[in-house]
């Protein structure tokens, strides 16, 4: 076989045509052609999502359980298991849209939520960023006063700030003579007071406008705020899916991809591209002068931070799970490839450990728990559940892998929290009919994490499923469709859904959520026990994460995910990572606080903790194997009129 042979591959419906060498991986070819293809496993053939149809040509492909015989005959293959060994015409089915989770309206809403819940914390913030812009008058030189421009400039800085020897990068010096002489020796200087670093010099007096960006890079979502640094107002906000998703949906798969040749660079490029787009969109809508954006604070989990700074996250994944850095050096935005904001300086929020990143530090800052004597528990729900317990005197944190169920992954009809995602469910006690509420109010197209928690809580309470998450089959539930032992509980009939297909829950879906909730609760119990506390000692519980705002705490307690304590102790804060970076952007004091928080948190490794494993197994049960942990839930279940509960097959 001639391995040097090249083939033409045409992609439909985009009609893009490119040439690839013999044996090139088809999925990679699609990505390299700038097209999108879903693949949560990162292209190893285990998720079955990167399905394409070969219209012409016969490539070499491997057998897979995801493609049925009839589909095979129609030319369907998994692109990641297919090699280009022929000229091809490939049809790429429409991919689930990687569009913003939260549109602008909703983001504004979520910042209001923040303002409502944490108004006290918010109002206390004294707006005083690291980076300031000040007017400076530099002495004019003369024949009798013939010192250098730089000398006289530094002298002016010293007189103003009492900074002995400020640092001036060479690119600033290059512009210095022009800027000084431009408006009669008056300049506006952007200075990082913490490091005595001159960031920028402009001719003439400063205009009063001053802006900054707060950025949260999540594994799934990227959120950005444009902030007026004079009054702290959020002028605009925008968000987008993290485009790295196509290289793997979770952190581990991204790390794997970053280890491939060119992988790290690629991951960095796509995330920076996305950030540039967000900045561009915000600028378009706000009509501000980008030169007035002087700083950006970024938070994210450790892996996301590594990828953003193009530092290999390889060792995060290998025992003993070590980061390269928990905070990366402050630098100019341009050094990171960020466009549009040439004057801006970038800071990142310090993380704690490999699996407890700056997003959590920022989250703690947002809750204010590090300033309070109240004992609080912070829970960030996502693919990794991160937990921090403590108060102003001490803090301990851990991370437990919950799986993708909270984000709609691993669930047949799962979806992310976009428009059309079911976020609330009620199940009728008598008829077992489900009533749903979808985000946006339109026809539902899938079920997101909070909807999943809701539906499982409802199903358990109303007797549709038993404590093991298995369907009760003989209770006359007409919404249960069974083929032999495989049952589906229909939430919404096809005629009422967006794509005409039934939306249902299977026992496998329940299992996946069961595992996720078991990990969270086992983490909470284990972490508290490490410090000799019980859930009843907690004064407050803060919930964060993409589903935090919509989460029905009652049902989360019913399924045994959250401890059975006074429900009023719970607060929802939504995305706390962006709130934390927003606060850090406004105030250098707040930023310093994040460093203190990160230093104060002791990290507990759960992956080697036997008790965690034991509790995890105990958690594979509704609500929990030790029923006395959930007295209120037990009472509730008991008091419900469950004439059908468990009485079948007698």
Partner 1 sequence: MSFQIPKNQYSGTISTVTLGDNKSGIPVGGDKALPFYNFEGEIPNKPIIAMEVYDSKPEKWPEYLEKYFKDVFDDPVKWAKKCVNDYGAEAICLQLKSINPDSGDMSPDKAAEIVKKVREAVDKPIIVYGDGPMEKISDVMKKVSEVNQDSNILIGWIEEDHYKTVAAACMGYNNNVISVNSMDVNIAKQLNILLTQLGLPPERIVMDPSTASIGYGIEYCYSSMERLKIAALLQDDKMTQMPLIVNLAPQVWKVKEAKESEEDYPEWGNLEQRGINWESISAMSTLISGTNIVVMRHPKAIELINKMINKLLG
For position 103 contacting partner 1 by CB under 8 A, the verdict is no
Q: How far is CA 635 from CA 213, 518, 564, 629, in A?
A: 49, 21, 11, 12
> Does position 53 bind partner 1 by CB under 8 A?
no
- DSSP 8-state symbol, 494: G
Please, are residues 82 and 60 in contact by the beta-carbon 8 Å criterion?
yes
Least separation in angstroms between CB 507 and partner 1: 10
Binding test (CB under 8 A) with partner 1, winner from 4, 65, 495, 650: 650
Residue 468 touches partner 1, criterion: CB under 8 A: yes
**Phi, then psi, of 306 in degrees rounded to 5:** -55, -45
CB of 484 to partner 1, least distance (A): 11
Nearest to 39 by CA among 300, 409, 545, 305: 409
Cβ proximity to partner 1: between 162 and 628 the closer is: 628
Give the count of beta carbons closer than 10 Å to the beta carbon of residue 320.
8
Q: How many residues bind partner 1 (CB under 8 A)?
A: 18
Backbone φ, ψ for residue 197 (5° rounding): -110, 130
Q: Is 561 in the site for partner 1 (CB under 8 A)?
A: no
Identity of the residue, 265 or 473, whose beta carbon is nearer to partner 1 in the bound complex? 473
Options 8-16, 384-392, 464-472, 561-569: segment touching partner 1 (CB under 8 A) = 464-472
Binding mask 602-641 for partner 1 (x = CB under 8 A): ------------x--xx-xx---xxx--------------
Q: How far is the CB of 427 from partner 1 (least distance, A)?
A: 20
User: Which of left, alpha, beta for 560 (phi over 0: left; psi -120 to 50: alpha)?
Assistant: left
Q: Cα 271 vs. chain centroid, distance in angstroms?
A: 13
Q: How far is the CB of 522 from partner 1 (least distance, A)?
A: 11
Contact mark string toward partner 1, 485..524, x via CB under 8 A? ----------------------------------------
Q: Which of the residues 519 through 558 are near partner 1 (CB under 8 A)?
A: none
434/650 Cα distance (integer angstroms)? 27
Stretch that binds partner 1, among 42-50, 222-230, 351-359, 467-475 (CB under 8 A): 467-475
Tell me whether residue 158 or residue 470 sits nearer to partner 1 (CB atom): 470
Q: Are 344 and 296 in contact (CB under 8 A)?
A: yes
Contacts of 485 (CB under 8 A, 6+ apart): none
Contact between residue 572 and residue 379 where contact means Cβ atoms under 8 Å apart = no
Q: Which of 430, 486, 635, 648 binds partner 1 (CB under 8 A)?
A: 648
Q: Would you say 89 or 613 has its CB closer to partner 1?
A: 613
Residues in the chain: 650
Which range, of 112-120, 245-253, 301-309, 466-474, touches partner 1 by CB under 8 A? 466-474
Please select the residue that binds partner 1; options are 5, 63, 470, 596, rule is CB under 8 A: 470
Nearest approach, Cβ of 646 to partner 1 (angstroms)? 5
CA distance 199 to 584: 19
Locate 79 and state its tokens: 């692109």
* Of the candidates 367, 336, 334, 439, the residue with the CA atom closest to the CA atom of residue 100: 439
Nearer to partner 1, 462 or 540 (CB): 462
| Segment 266-270 long-range contacts (CB within 8 Å, at least 24 positions apart) | 267/307, 268/307, 268/308, 268/309, 268/310, 268/337, 269/337, 270/243, 270/244
Q: Whose Cβ is closer to partner 1: residue 502's or residue 614's?
A: 614
In the sheet where 197-203 sits, what is the strand order?
Answer: 131-137, 186-192, 197-203
Told to check if 647 binds partner 1 by CB under 8 A, we report yes
Task: State the minimum distance, in angstroms, from the CB of residue 561 to partner 1.
Answer: 17
Exactly one of 466, 529, 539, 605 binds partner 1 (CB under 8 A); which one? Answer: 466
Tokens (6 digits) for 498:
């967006």
| The binder of partner 1 chosen from 104, 340, 467, 569 (CB under 8 A) | 467
Candidates 177, 204, 476, 646; binder of partner 1 (CB under 8 A) is 646
**Euclidean distance between the first and the last CA atom of the chain, given in angstroms as a whole number:** 68
List residues near partner 1 by CB under 8 A: 466-468, 470, 614, 617-618, 620-621, 625-627, 645-650
């Amino acid at each position: 076989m001639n391995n040097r042979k090249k083939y033409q591959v045409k992609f439909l419906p985009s009609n893009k045509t490119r040439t690839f060498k013999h044996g090139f991986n088809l999925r990679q070819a699609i990505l390299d052609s700038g097209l999108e293809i879903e693949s949560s496993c990162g292209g190893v053939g285990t998720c079955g999502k990167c399905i394409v149809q070969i219209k012409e040509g016969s490539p070499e492909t491997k057998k897979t359980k995801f493609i049925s015989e009839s589909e095979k005959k129609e030319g369907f293959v998994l692109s990641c298991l297919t090699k280009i060994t022929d000229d091809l015409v490939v049809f790429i089915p429409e991919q689930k849209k990687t569009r913003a989770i939260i549109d602008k309206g909703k983001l504004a809403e979520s910042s209001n939520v923040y303002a409502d819940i944490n108004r006290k914390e918010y109002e206390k913030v004294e707006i005083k960023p690291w980076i300031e812009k000040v007017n400076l008058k530099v002495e004019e030189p003369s024949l009798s006063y013939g010192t250098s421009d730089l000398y006289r400039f530094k002298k002016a800085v010293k007189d103003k700030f009492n900074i002995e020897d400020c640092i001036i990068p060479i690119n600033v010096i290059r512009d210095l003579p022009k800027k000084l002489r431009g408006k009669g020796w008056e300049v506006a200087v952007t200075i990082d007071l913490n490091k005595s670093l001159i960031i920028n010099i402009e001719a003439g007096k400063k205009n009063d406008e001053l802006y900054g960006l707060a950025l949260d890079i999540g594994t799934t979502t990227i959120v950005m705020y444009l902030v007026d640094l004079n009054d702290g107002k959020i002028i605009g906000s925008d968000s987008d899916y993290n485009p790295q998703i196509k290289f793997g949906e979770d952190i581990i798969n991204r790390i794997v991809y970053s280890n491939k040749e060119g992988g790290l660079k690629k991951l960095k490029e796509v995330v920076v591209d996305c950030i540039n787009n967000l900045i561009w969109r915000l600028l378009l809508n706000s009509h501000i002068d980008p030169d007035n954006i002087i700083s950006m604070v970024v938070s994210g989990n450790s892996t996301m931070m590594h990828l953003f700074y193009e530092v290999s996250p390889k060792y995060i994944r290998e025992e003993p799970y070590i980061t390269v850095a928990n905070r990366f050096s402050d630098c100019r935005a341009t050094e990171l490839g960020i466009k549009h904001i040439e004057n801006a300086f970038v800071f990142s929020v310090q993380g704690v450990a490999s699996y407890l990143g700056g997003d959590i530090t920022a989250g703690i800052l947002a809750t204010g728990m590090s300033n309070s004597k109240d004992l609080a528990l912070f829970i960030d729900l996502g693919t990794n559940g991160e937990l921090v317990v403590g108060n102003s005197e001490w803090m301990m944190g851990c991370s437990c892998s919950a799986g993708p169920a909270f984000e709609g992954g691993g669930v047949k009809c799962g979806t992310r929290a976009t428009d059309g995602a079911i976020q609330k469910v009620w199940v009728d006690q008598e008829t077992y009919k489900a009533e749903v509420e979808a985000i946006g109010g339109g026809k539902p197209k899938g079920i997101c994490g909070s909807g999943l928690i809701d539906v499982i809580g409802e199903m358990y309470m109303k007797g549709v499923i038993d404590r093991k998450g298995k369907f009760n089959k003989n209770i006359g539930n007409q919404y249960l469709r069974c083929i032999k032992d495989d049952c589906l509980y229909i939430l919404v009939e096809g005629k009422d859904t967006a794509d005409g297909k039934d939306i249902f829950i299977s026992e496998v879906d329940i299992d996946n959520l069961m595992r996720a909730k078991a990990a969270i609760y086992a983490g909470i119990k284990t972490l508290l026990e490490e410090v000799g506390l019980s859930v009843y000692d907690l004064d407050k519980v803060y919930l964060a994460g993409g589903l935090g705002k919509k989460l029905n705490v009652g049902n989360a307690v019913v399924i045994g995910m959250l401890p059975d304590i006074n429900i009023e102790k719970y607060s929802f804060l939504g995305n706390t990572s962006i709130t934390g970076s927003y606060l850090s952007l406004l105030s250098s004091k707040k930023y310093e606080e994040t460093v203190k928080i990160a230093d104060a948190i002791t990290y507990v490794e759960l992956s080697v903790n036997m008790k965690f494993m034991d509790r995890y197994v105990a958690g594979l049960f509704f609500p929990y194997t030790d029923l006395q942990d959930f007295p209120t839930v037990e009472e509730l279940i008991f008091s419900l009129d469950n004439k059908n509960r468990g009485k079948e097959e007698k």
